[in-house]
Amino acid sequence: MKIVYRISTMTNDLPNHLHDKVHETAELIAKATKVVVFTGAGVSTESGIPDFRSPGGLWSKFDPDDFTIERFLYSPETRKRQWKFLLEEGIFSQAQPNAAHKAIAWLEAIGKLTCVITQNVDDLHQKAGNSSEKVYELHGNMKWLKCLDCFERYPLEDLLSRFRGTDEVPACVRCQGILKPDVIFFGESLPTKTLKDATYAASNCDLLIVIGSSLVVYPAAYIPLYAKGGGAKLVIINKTETSYDANADVVIHGGAGEVMNGIVAVLQKMDVSCA
C-alpha cells in the first residue's frame, strides 16, 4: 500500500544551500532499516509553542524557579500561578501538528521509523499520527495532570473546562492530593523506563535524525552519542549550530518543516514505499 503525504514544498523550492543535504539525508533514510528521530523545541515552535530560553519564550513570562519540584510541592502560590498560566495560555491544547510532525508520522507509516524520542511535552507527534507506543517522551506530556499521592491521571482538557472562570485550583477527586502537570520539573529524574527504552533504540538504530534540538539539555542530549557509538549515521537538522555538528554525517541549518517537507519530496520521487 502506498501512503499519500501531501507536501507544500518541493525540492526545487528549497534554497540552494539545503538542496544537496536534503537529497543526501533522503538517501540515508532510503538505505536505513532502523530510523530513530530525536526532536526538540525547534519542532514545537513551528506549531506556535514558544520555547523556554529564547527572547519572548516561557521564561520571560514565568519564573523558572516555579518549575522546580521543591517549589511546586511546598508553595500553594506556585501551584496557583501554574494553574492560572495553563488556563490563560492554552498553548498546548490548541496547538496543531506542523509539517515536520506530519513528515515524521509519514516515516512511521512507510515502515522506516523505529521510534521518536522527544524532549517536547505537547503530544503533537501523536496528534500527527505517530503511534503512542513509538513516542518516547523524555520530559512527559502536558496532556495529563497526575496526583502526587495516589498517581491517578486526569486529562488536562477536562479540568480546564471544569475550572475555567473560577479561582479554584483542582485537586485529585479520589484523594484530594496535589495535581501536577505530568512533565519533568527541575529536580526530578527522567522516567527510568522511557530513558532506558530511548537509549536502547538509539544505540541499535542505523540512522538517527535530530530535528530542532540545540542538544544542550542532559541527559537527553546523550542520545546522539549512543547512536554514533552503535555505528549509526547521524543527521542534525536545526536552525543554529550545535556542539554535536562535528560528529554528524549531515548537518542542515534550516527550519524543521521546510527541511522535512523537502526530504519527503525526495523520498516520494525515489518511490520509497511501505516496508
- Helix 99-109 × helix 256-269 angle, to 10°: 30
CB 244, CB 216: distance < 8 Å: no
Confidence at residue 83, expressed as pLDDT on a 0 to 100 scale: 84
CA dihedral 13, 45, 249, 35 (to 10 degrees): -100
pLDDT of residue 130: 98
Least confident segment among 5-9, 26-30, 59-63, 171-175: 5-9
Going by the DSSP 8-state scheme, the letter that residue 186 receives in this structure is B
pLDDT tens digits, 178-225: 999 999 988 999 999 999 999 999 999 999 999 999 999 889 999 999
The string of pLDDT tens digits covering residues 229-255 is 999 999 999 999 999 999 999 999 999
CA distance linking residue 69 with residue 167, whole number of Å: 23
For residue 95, pLDDT over 90 is answered with: no
- Which pLDDT score, from 0 to 100, does residue 17 have? 75
Give the Cα separation of 142 and 121 in Å (integer): 5
**In the chain, which residues fall in CATH 3.40.50.1220?**
1-49+97-139+190-275
Q: Is the peptide bond before 219 cis (omega within 30 degrees of 0)?
A: yes
- Rounded to whole angstroms, the Cα distance separating 135 from 230 reads 21
CATH 3.30.1600.10 domain span(s) along the chain: 52-94+140-183
pLDDT above 80 for 1: no
Q: What is the DSSP letter of 178?
A: B
With cut-offs at 50, 70 and 90, classify the pLDDT of residue 11.
low
273 confidence band (pLDDT: 50, 70, 90): low
Q: Judge whether residue 40 has pLDDT over 60.
A: yes
For domain 1-49+97-139+190-275, the CATH architecture is 3-Layer(aba) Sandwich (3.40)
CB 258 within 8 A of CB 252: no
Please say whether the beta carbons of 194 and 139 come within 8 A: no
Q: Which strand (E) or helix (H) includes residue 26?
A: helix 16-31
pLDDT over 50 at 9, yes or no: no
The percentage of residues in the chain with a pLDDT greater than 90, rounded to a whole number, is 69
In the set 23, 101, 125, 139, the catalytic residue is 139
Least confident of 19-33, 47-61, 75-89: 47-61
Alpha carbon of residue 251 to chain centroid: 19
Q: Is the pLDDT of residue 16 over 80?
A: no
Count of positions (residues) in the chain: 275
Is 139 catalytic? The answer is yes
Poorest-pLDDT segment among 50-59, 67-76, 88-97: 50-59
Q: What is the pTM of this model?
A: 0.90
Q: How far apart are CA 153 and CA 212, in angstroms?
A: 29
Which pLDDT does position 3 carry in this prediction? Answer: 46
Q: Whole-angstrom Cα distance, residue 118 to residue 113?
A: 14
DSSP-derived 3-state class of residue 40: coil
The CATH number of domain 52-94+140-183, selected from 3.40.47.10, 3.30.1600.10, 3.30.930.10, 3.20.20.100: 3.30.1600.10
Beta strands 140-147 and 135-137: pairing type? unpaired
Phi, then psi, of 121 in degrees rounded to 5? -125, 20
Please state, in angstroms and rounded to a whole number, the distance separating the CA atoms of residues 2 and 246.
37
pLDDT category at 33 given cuts 50, 70, 90 is very high
- The reported pLDDT for the residue numbered 2 is 42
